[in-house]
Structure 1
Amino acid sequence: MTPILAYIHKRTLPEDKFKARRLRYQTARYVVYDEVLYKRGFNQPLLRYVDEEEGNYILREVHEGICGNHSGGCSLVMKVLRQGYYWSTMKEGAVNFVRACDRCQRFANYSSMPVTLLTPMVSPWPFAMFGIPYKLVSDNGKQFDSKELRQHHTLKAKLEERKGNWPEELPKVMWSYNTTLRSTTGETPFMLTYGYEAIVPVEVGSGSLRRDRYKEEDAEVSQRLHLDLLEETKENSQLRLAAYQQRATRYYNKKVKGQLLRVGDLVLRKVMPNTKNPQHGVFGANWKGPYKIKAWKGTYHLEDMEGKLVPRAWNAEHLQKYYQ
């Protein structure tokens, strides 16, 4: 018998004064009809009060039964209320039930929110300390089809119809990049390397002040003077780069929706486009698993439920925690 029924039938109150006062206040909204406890609702006259065990059955039937549509937690609890049922922990129970639903987890949409904090790299010290990487992990994406390349489209614009000749056009694109002022450092890459701005082809064709008055002796002296100031120029560019990366990091980290994954946790991994079953079409699952996290070394190493190691490492953005 619930404390509310005990108070209605036998006027039994807890010994604690605060709990007794709270129970009297709550009982004012309840009524017993044909030996069944109901709560007076705002949207409906009476809501049948059930225990948590019966509430779990109601959630399962409404969520995944013959009339269920695998709705979210808030939608599910509203639907149960409209059916005329109530228990004290129904909202929390509905959220936990939906979170642990196997089908909802496998067919969940991909999240565009980052799951890990941004780690900016100011200098190439990892390569100087550890050498060139043994291998690079790729997501099997398209070549020259990143967001940045689509935005600037330098190589794409130069290739036009000669899509197969990109190796011949690449040096021209790199020359264009190295002689363009970068907003991150405030200098051109050519300037940071040689201490002096390069003469671009337009100066050769149309002329410029420094080209028209060029003298080899004066140019050598000027270059040596600029080389003496190059260290200061590089230091200032590093400060500007660090400030830019701090701003970018703050902006990026505001959108991070982290998830805590530990060794031994069960996870689902994202189904990549190249591994999807073409026969499933748009109705195929977006997540595959569950798998168990075996180790973490900057990336996650997984094994299936039978203990077989899953090939290659996985980033956190390709995983989501699996609830049972």
Structure 2
Amino acid sequence: MLGEYNVTYRPRTSVKGKILADFLIEMSGEVSQPVSAAETQEEPWTLFTYGSSCVDESGAGLILTSPQGAEFTYALRFQFTASDNEAEYEALVAGLQIAARMEVKNIQVLVEVLENKSIKEKEVATVIEEDGPTWMTQLVDYLKEGTLLGDEKEARKLRLKAPQYELLEGVLYRRLFLTPWLRCVGPLQAEYVMREIHKGTCSMHAGPRSVLAKSIRLGYYWLTMHKDARDMIQKCSDCQVHRPVTRHPQQHLTLITAPWPFYKWGIDIAGPFPEGPGKVKNLIVVMDYFTKWIEPKAVATITGGQVKKFVWDNIVCRFGIPGEIISDNGKQFSDNPFKDWCDKLNITQRFASVKHPQSNGLVERANRSLGEGIKSCLGEGNKNWGEELSHVLWAHRTMIKLSHGDTPFSQTYGTKAVIPAEIGMLTYRTATVDMVNNDEEMRLNLDLLEERRERAAICEAKAKSKMMKYYNARVRGVAFRPGEFVYRSNDASHAVAGEKLGPK
């Protein structure tokens, strides 16, 4: 609005300390008439002022109290930057101007004074005092007196490092390019700073990088900032109890490979399922590590004798005696009669780590695939899941596996299987089949099966190498040294249920 009249507004600049003297000189000219003794003995008004400033703005608060107890409260916001002292002067000047306009003749001014100190002198002394020399001692001596060490290499190193520091009033500061200078602190001071930032009054048990970044933003520096923050947090019991459960692997991946088909098998128990005909409710599942061929059997109970009979009927009598069988630590696998039977046939048993089914991950994945397939094929109220098992199994055997780029059926029998869709709607292969020369072509496929398996082995080796590279890139190793305290997450750690605020 003032621009129309060629009038510009310029905010008031900061007020110097002589404002009180200038104000008294201005007021002395206005009050030139003598005042009666009765007026001078009038009860005084009370003016309480408070001024404060921050990075963005400054302001003041006023409370003017009459002799009868009536209070007049004012809050002021200044449109210019000012220090705390300048804000106090502005608050006092504004209060006196308000009192003059109200024709107050006798006034008493009060300024806020902190009588009780928030931190005792002893506490401050324990924070800033250091016992003996620190990493700053040599730098301070060199910047203050030019003292160098006797070792020529160390002296040269100190001379090169010294320009990065500045000594002001006995306090050492670190020079930085983009931030203000950082105050250098010793070990005791650094421990106090980290403790206050990590678990002090205004803290949240942040990680080492957050503690480090906040220390720098507050203006502190010492040589081993990141290491000290990491060591302190590793010793914090609350952080160990409530830290997020890491999902990164802690050890490198160990590949399980098979030298030839039907040499290495993985076996596991799937279930329990809803009880079907014959009271069957469990599945014994085996899978060949080379061809990915799956053999399951529905059983009512799981015993060592049943596992022995299943391996004999479905593996030994069809594909020969295996070299290795990988299983978990169940009694049906680790105890007799299955154990003695494996020893007699010279079959090596490999057991997965306790509570770590990923050690036998291939057959575990097969169990999940069979369960998902059966569940998808079952209709509502249909509990005869055993009838759907053969259909799901056929689908798996004729499905191309990404690991070796071929189907388990083709790797086992040397030819591609004909599925029902090719009979309902003829393809080129089924429409042009030569029944006269078909047997000869089948024998030729068997002769070429060895070459196909070699290509599959090479393809699987490449796939596993790629998978191992991705897995190992996510490994976060954890190493413990003798004497270190370790928080062990077990049933005793969760004895008291804390719901959302309990341990992980």
Q: TM-score, normalised by structure 1?
A: 0.67
Alignment of 1:72-87 (within 5 A): 72-87=207-222
Quick check: 1:94 aligned with 2:235? Answer: no
Secondary structure at the residue paired with 1:237?
A: helix
Deviates more, 1:65-74 or 1:207-216: 207-216
1:69 Cα offset (Å): 1.6
CA distance, structure 1, for counterparts of residue 470 and residue 233 of structure 2: 32
Q: In structure 2, how many angstroms separate the alpha carbons of the residues matched to 1:252 and 1:120?
A: 11
* Counterpart check, 1:179 vs 2:398: yes
For 1:291, the equivalent position in structure 2 comes to none
Q: Distance in 1 between matches of 2:431 and 2:174?
A: 93
**Distance of 2:245 and 2:390 partners within structure 1:** 38
Whether the 8 Å contact between 2:248 and 2:476 is mirrored in structure 1 is yes
Larger radius of gyration: 2
Question: Could you tell me whether the CA contact under 8 Å between 2:185 and 2:221 is conserved in 1?
Answer: yes
Encode CA deviations 1:90-134: one digit per residue, 9 max, x unaligned.
343223222332222332223333332222223165554444535
Alignment partner of 1:67: what SS?
coil
Q: Report if aligned partners of 1:59, 1:76 keep a CA contact under 8 Å in 2.
A: yes
Q: 2:171 is paired with a residue of what secondary structure? A: strand
1:114 equivalenced with 2:219 (yes/no): no
Question: Does the 8 Å contact 2:357/2:364 carry over to 1?
Answer: no
Change (3 A) 1:11 1:208: closer
Cα-to-partner distance string for 1:134-175 (whole Å, 9 max, x where unaligned): 53655699xx9979968x964453236468554432221110
**Shift of residue 10, structure 1, vs aligned partner:** 4.5
Q: 1:147 to 1:171 in 2, by over 3 A?
A: closer
- What letter matches 2:166 in structure 1? Y
Letter in 1 for 2:501: F
Q: Which has the larger displacement, 120-129 or 185-194? A: 120-129
Question: AA paired with 1:170?
Answer: L
User: Quick one: distance in 1 between partners of 2:204 and 2:180?
Assistant: 23
Q: Tell me which of 423, 431, 456 is aligned to 1:237.
A: 456
**1:79 is matched by which residue type in structure 2?**
K
* Equivalent residue, structure 1, for 2:141: 6
Q: Is the 8 A contact 2:175 2:181 kept in 1?
A: yes
CA–CA distance in structure 2, aligned partners of residues 183 and 155 of structure 1:
22
CA distance in 1, matches of 2:404, 2:152: 68
Structure 2: which amino acid aligns with 1:99?
Q
Alignment partner of 1:253 out of 468, 472, 485: 472
Contact 1:63 1:71 in 2 (8 A): yes
* 1:87-236 aligned within 5 A: 87-123=222-258, 125=263, 128-131=322-325, 133=327, 134-135=329-330, 137-138=354-355, 154-159=373-378, 161=380, 165-207=384-426, 219-236=438-455
Distance in 2 (alpha carbons) for counterparts of 1:233 and 1:227: 10
Distance 1:89 1:119, change over 3 A: closer
Count residues in correspondence. 278
**Aligned equivalents of 2:386, 2:496: Cα separation in 1:** 34
Percent of matched pairs sharing the same residue = 29
Among 141, 150, 154, the alignment partner of 1:19 is 154
The code of the aligned residue for 2:415 comes to: Y
Q: Does 1:30 align with 2:248?
A: no
Query: How much does 1:41 deviate?
Result: 5.3
* Offset at residue 242 of structure 1 (A): 1.9
User: Which deviates further from its counterpart, 169-178 or 227-236?
Assistant: 227-236
Looking at structure 1, the residues matched to 365 and 489 of structure 2 have their Cα atoms a distance apart, in angstroms, of 20
Q: Please report how far the alpha carbon of residue 14 of structure 1 lies from its aligned counterpart in structure 2 after TM superposition.
A: 1.1
Report the residue type matching 2:205 in the other structure. Answer: H
- Structure 1 residue 187, shift from structure 2 partner: 2.3
Q: TM-score, normalised by structure 2?
A: 0.46
Secondary structure (helix, strand or coil) at the match of 1:39 reads strand
Secondary structure class of the residue paired with 1:92: helix
Partner of 1:307: none
Considering Cα pairs closer than 8 Å and 6+ residues apart, tell me whether 1 or 2 has the greater RCO: 1
Any conservation in 2 of the 1:122–1:241 contact (CA below 8 Å)? no
Question: Shift in Å at residue 179 of structure 1?
Answer: 1.2
Matched AA of 1:30: E
